[in-house]
Amino acid sequence: MRLENKTALITGAGSGIGRATAVLFAREGAAVVIADTNPEAGKSAAAEIKANGGRALFERADVSSATARKRVVDQTISEFERIDILFNNAGIIRRATVLELSEEEWDRVINGNVKSMYLMCREVIPHMLTVKGGSIINMASGWGLAGGPKAAAYCASKGAVVLMTKALAVDHGRQKVRVNCLCPGDTDTDMLRREARQLGVPESEFLADSGRRPLGRMGTPEDIAKAALYLASEASSFVTGTALVVDGGGLAGSP
């Protein structure tokens, strides 16, 4: 029970990595608030946790909306009285070069992947200070550390997340708020399948290519959830400002 008596707020927690993390955090003793734009997925995730004896609350929220963002934080405090862990997991991808991107698409990716995290941190950190600390986990990407093809806006946004994470860690370390980010490689989620459709590549071919890395497979949501648990728990009590790569060796090089 590594998160016993903790409360975790997870954005984009209705499916994929967010859902796997919510289920794992609840299993480790945390009360979990599931924020997602999809009510069916969010309610299903909360129901799964409760069916296994955990504590969960679903809040429909688009974290790019100030009203929705404040509501989900207020509801978390109202229900569980504290926020110890914030996992900024929600995000979007648009596979395109700068010549193919419209200005509106660029803004949507930057706002969805960077501005939303800044605003969530601004909303949550004051509550962490009342309980004398906390752990913030931001979802970055391997493509926040290295460039990738037809992903200009996505790479820019995830690179910004990496350095924003470091800056937040510097600003709030003395207040015992640790801030880290995860840099996954290709992970078996609906988002990965959306990439295949955006690129016009057959899904089977795209997924097979995603598995070509030293460990010989793509990641699972549970792989990333375990890394998030490490960063949320006391096991990482002296870790802040880091970008943790969880990619099966993809950035290390090809087998």
Residue-wise pLDDT for 81-116, tens only, equals 999 999 999 999 999 999 999 999 999 999 999 999
Give the list of residues 6+ apart from residue 201 with CB closer than 8 angstroms, or none.
none
Confidence of residue 152 (pLDDT cuts 50, 70, 90): very high
Mean confidence (pLDDT) of the chain: 96
In the predicted model, is pLDDT for residue 200 greater than 70?
yes
Contact 173, 240 (CB under 8 A): yes
pLDDT at 68: 86
Distance separating alpha carbons of residues 88 and 211, to the nearest angstrom: 26
Q: Exposed e or buried b for every residue in 20-59, given b needs 16+ CB within 10 A?
A: bbbbbbbbbebbbbbbbbeeebbbbbbebbeeeebbbbbb
pTM above 0.95, yes or no: yes
Q: Region 42-53: what's the mean pLDDT?
A: 98
Q: Is 118 a catalytic residue?
A: no
Domain range list for the chain: 7-246
Catalytic residue among 154, 177, 181, 247: 154
Q: Residue 69: helix, strand or coil by DSSP? A: helix
* Cα separation, 117 vs 208, whole angstroms: 32
Is the CATH number 1.10.1200.10 carried by domain 7-246?
A: no
Distance, CA of 176 to CA of 169 (rounded, Å): 9
Residue 142, both tokens? 């391997």
- What value does the mean pLDDT take over residues 160-172? 98
